[in-house]
């Protein structure tokens, strides 16, 4: 038989401990890094798309 109260207490305690130790600077840093990562990923995707289009045009001639 599983003791869900113990599992819930353990998970809740772990979450609260982690949440109490995260500083605002860490949250801000994470948001900034996520935004930079998204911008870089989008830019590389566009660049790759343009390169593929160029290659297809050159190979089709």
pLDDT in tens, 1-34: 467 888 888 999 998 888 888 888 888 999 999 9
Structure tokens at 34: 């996520």
Domain assignment present for 27: yes
In a domain, 8, yes or no: no
Q: Is residue 4 part of a domain?
A: no
Tokens (6 digits) for 23: 């500083």
In angstroms, how far is CA 16 from the centroid of its own chain? 22
Is 51 inside any structural domain? yes
What is the total residue count of the chain? Answer: 61
Give the CA angle between residues 13, 14, 17 to the nearest 5°. Answer: 85
What per-residue confidence (pLDDT) applies to 22?
Answer: 83
Q: Give a yes or no: residue 44 inside a domain.
A: yes
Whole domain around residue 52: which residue ranges?
A: 23-61
Alpha-carbon torsion, ordered 22, 23, 25, 28, to 10 deg: 50
pLDDT of residue 38: 97
Q: Is residue 12 part of a domain?
A: no
Domain count, the chain: 1
pLDDT over threshold 80, residue 42: yes
Domain-located, residue 6: no
């Amino acid at each position: 038989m599983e003791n869900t109260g113990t599992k819930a207490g353990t998970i809740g305690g772990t979450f609260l401990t982690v949440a109490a130790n995260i500083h605002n600077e860490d949250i801000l840093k994470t948001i900034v890094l996520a935004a930079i990562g998204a911008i870089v990923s989008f830019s590389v995707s566009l660049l790759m798309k343009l390169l593929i289009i160029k290659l297809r045009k050159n190979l089709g001639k």
